[in-house]
Chains A and B, each alone.
Chain A
Amino acid sequence: MKLIRHFAYFDEGAKKEIRRATLKAVAIPGYQVPFASREVPIGRGWGTGGLQLTLSLIGKNDVLKVIDQGSDESVNAVSIKKLVQETTGVSCTDDTRKASIIQSRHRIPEVPLTKEQIIVLQVPEPEPLRDIEKSEHQTKILHAEEDYSGAWLQLFEQIMIIGSTTTHANHPVVVNNRYVMAPSPIPRFDNEKMHQSEALILLGAGREKKIYAVPPYTNVTSLAFDDYTFRVENFDGKACHLCNATDVFLDELVNEETGETYFQCNDSSYCLERLNKKTSREEVEVNV
Chain B
Amino acid sequence: MFEQPLLQVKNVTKKYGAGCQKCAALHSEVMIKNYCPVCRTVYACRDVSFDLYSGEILGIVGESGSGKSTLMQCLYFDLETSSGEVYMESSEWQGENLFYLSAKQKRSIRNSKFGMVYQNPIHGLKMEYSAISNIGEKLIAAGNRNVKEMESIGNTLFREVEIPLFRSKEKPLHFSGGMQQRVQIAKALSNNPPILFLDEITTGLDLSVQANVLDVIKNIQVEYGVSMIVVSHDLAVIRMLADRTLVMLDGQVIEKGLTDQILEDPQHHFTQQLVYSLI
Interface residues, chain A, with chain B CB atoms under 8 Å away? 132, 141, 144-147, 149-150, 152-153, 156-157, 159-161, 225-228
Contacts and interface: CB of A to CB of B under 8 A. Distances in A.
Contacts of B129: 153, 157
B248 interface: no
B33 to A, nearest CB: 33
A156 B136 contact: yes
B146 A227 contact: yes
Interface string B225-261: 0000000000000000000000000000000000000
B112 interface: no
Given A153-B126, A153-B129, A225-B146, A160 B140 contact: no
B103 A157 contact: no
B122 to A, nearest CB: 14
A225 B103 CA distance: 26
Contacts of B103: 141, 144-145
A161 B169 contact: yes
A141 B126 CA distance: 19
Contacts of A141: 103
B130 A149 contact: no
Contacts of A156: 133, 136-137, 140, 147, 150
4 tightest CB-CB pairs across the interface, nearest first? A149-B141, A157-B133, A156-B136, A149-B140
Contact of A160 (B107, B133, B145): B133
A205 B146 CA distance: 33
A39 to B, nearest CB: 36
B27 interface: no
Interface string B135-170: 011001100011110110000000000000000010
Given A145-B103, A153-B129, A160 B136 contact: yes
B269 interface: no
B132 interface: yes
A149 B137 contact: yes
Contacts of B137: 149-150, 153, 156
B107 A147 contact: yes
Interface in B83-123: 103-104, 107
Contacts of A159: 147
A159 B169 CA distance: 11
Nearest to A132: B126
Interface of B: 103-104, 107, 126, 129-130, 132-133, 136-137, 140-141, 145-148, 150-151, 169
Contacts of A227: 146-148
A121 B181 CA distance: 45
Given A145-B104, A146-B104, A147-B141, A160 B169 contact: yes
A8 B137 CA distance: 47
30 contacts: A132-B126, A145-B107, A146-B104, A147-B141, A149-B137, A149-B140, A152-B145, A153-B126, A153-B136, A156-B136, A156-B137, A156-B140, A156-B147, A156-B150, A157-B129, A157-B130, A157-B133, A157-B136, A159-B147, A160-B130, A160-B136, A160-B151, A225-B145, A225-B146, A225-B147, A226-B145, A226-B146, A226-B147, A227-B148, A228-B147
A179 B164 CA distance: 38
A225 B146 CA distance: 6
B140 A152 contact: yes
Contacts of A145: 103-104, 107
Contacts of A149: 137, 140-141
Contacts of B169: 160-161
B112 to A, nearest CB: 12
Most buried by A among B103, B132, B147, B148: B147
